[in-house]
Structure 1
Amino acid sequence: MPDISLLQLVLANLAIAAGACLQGVAGYGIGTLSAPLLFLISPILLPAPLVLNATLLTIFMLVRNRAALEIRQVRFAIGGGVIGMILAGMTLAVLSPKGFELIFGLLILAGVALSVGGLRPRLNAANSAIAGAASTYMGTITAIGGPPIALIYQNEKGPLVRANMSAFFLVASFLSLTALLFSGYLGYREFLLFAATFPGVLLGFWLSGRLVHRVPFERLRPLILGIAAVAGSAALVRGLLTL
């Protein structure tokens, strides 16, 4: 396995399992929780290997929650996602490794700010398109695309949230993978890392099926956002120190 130890792989699988379980319960979270942890374990685990894992997870979730899907609500977010993909691809094409750490840290902290900012936008076409663009842009670069799209679904019921957000994340993941491929961030190494870490998704998804009606997301939210803030700050400081 390239540039990563067995211990790091075990820790990576546990981090992905925790994020997959969270997303299975709340509708999003594999990026918000797993990406900061994976960055601390090894930056090579981001973004493509986690985006590949998130794609697998959204397929599982969409199958589980398909009865609650309302695709008409998702189409505007998907349209915005195309714009986000193009902007993310352009950003990645000009980023150096140092620049990646800087923008990674900034976007994670922006995601945390969105999550705690108290914004409550309505679920309509314009807000869906904006959230879709922001979510896909952030998801492509950092694998954390949940906060923008979660804002417009925060007042909706659980099954609808899990179904519609899974449908959006599935399309957004393919858009992100397209941008990562053409910008040189998705290749053989990333597929190897995905193959070594997808068991974490299987474990987390299985656990979420047993916890979905037992664990209130709001109790976990401060811990998740705290982890994201620490990792985002670490990435930002690391990028600044290497300038």
Structure 2
Amino acid sequence: MTDLSLLQLILANLALMAGACLQGVAGYGIGTLAAPLLFLISPTLLPAPLILNSVVLVILMLVRNRQSLEFRQVRFAIGGGVVGAVFAGLTLYWMSPKGFELAFGILILIGVGLSLGGLRPQLNARNSTLAGVASTYMGTITAVGGPPIAMIYQDQKGPLVRANMSAFFLAASLLSISALLASDYLGRNELILMGLTLPGVLVGFWLSGRLVNRLGLDRIRPFILGIAAIAGVAALTRGLMSL
């Protein structure tokens, strides 16, 4: 079954509820907010259970925002995602559990740095492809793939962002799942954990429908990045101490 306590499962569902609500409003965020919290609750909740839950969330978001989808824009990012998933699968295949904690901490801090960097790359084929590679690589290993792809959509309108990023995240998540299966990071226990934490995602998505025009992302962004930075440092420290 699972070694998690009832309290850990409740906390995990609350973290996923907050992350799913954020992604439903902003177009991304379940990984950036929930993954660091889940790591602090129990590293067994990452990456596969969160990525599986993300698939359900982005399907719901695609249905909600389907009229704003522009696939011609997002296809380059999806193509880059194939490359990112291959590299991530190879990384996981050769990585030890200690190495996973180090990689998690480093990639989380890179994601925070990208979010704080103030870069504003244009939405074009080259940048979309590069963002697709980076997002899928980071998302497969840490379940935090939002920052690179979000950078190229930061000047676009809300409905387009939510639709196109959902389409990308769906493709990237399916690619990540393939990489996790190939590297033996996805099995029965991860499926059980996904099922036990799915209610939080569903409640968060429902809440986002009521907050989509009310929640100001700029107000909570420092809080989200602060949580991510703390978890990244904790993972990096734990990995270094276990060497």
Offset, 1:3: 1.4
Q: Distance in 1 between matches of 2:189 and 2:209?
A: 31
CA deviation digits over 1:31-58, x for unaligned, max 9?
A: 0000000000000000000000001000
Q: Distance in 2 between matches of 1:228 and 1:55?
A: 21
Q: Distance in 1 between matches of 2:17 and 2:215?
A: 16
Moved over 4 A (4+): none
State the one-letter code of the partner of 1:61: M
Q: Paired residue for 1:83? A: 83
Q: Distance in 2 between matches of 1:181 and 1:13?
A: 24
Q: Distance in 1 between matches of 2:193 and 2:155?
A: 36
- Match runs of 1:1-243 below 5 Å: 1-243=1-243
Which ranges of structure 2 fall in alignment gaps of 5 or more residues? none
Q: Distance in 2 between matches of 1:49 and 1:119?
A: 31
Q: Distance in 2 between matches of 1:125 and 1:47?
A: 28
TM, length-normalised to structure 1:
1.00
CA deviation digits over 1:40-91, x for unaligned, max 9?
A: 0000000000000001000000000000000000000000000000000000
Q: Distance in 1 between matches of 2:202 and 2:210?
A: 13
Identity of aligned residues (%): 73
Q: Distance in 2 between matches of 1:181 and 1:4?
A: 22
State the one-letter code of the partner of 1:121: P
CA deviation digits over 1:172-227, x for unaligned, max 9?
A: 00000000000000000000000100001100000000000001111110000000
Q: Distance in 2 between matches of 1:72 and 1:205?
A: 26
Q: Distance in 2 between matches of 1:233 and 1:56?
A: 29
Which ranges of structure 1 fall in alignment gaps of 5 or more residues? none
State the one-letter code of the partner of 1:60: L
Offset, 1:166: 0.2
Q: How many residues align?
A: 243
SS in 1 for 2:113: helix
TM, length-normalised to structure 2:
1.00
Q: Distance in 2 between matches of 1:165 and 1:220?
A: 20
Q: Distance in 1 between matches of 2:163 and 2:58?
A: 9
Give the alignment's Cα RMSD to 1 decimal.
0.4
Q: Distance in 2 between matches of 1:95 and 1:147?
A: 23
Q: Distance in 1 between matches of 2:127 and 2:85?
A: 17
Q: Distance in 1 between matches of 2:240 and 2:203?
A: 36
Q: Distance in 2 between matches of 1:169 and 1:219?
A: 24
State the one-letter code of the partner of 2:19: G
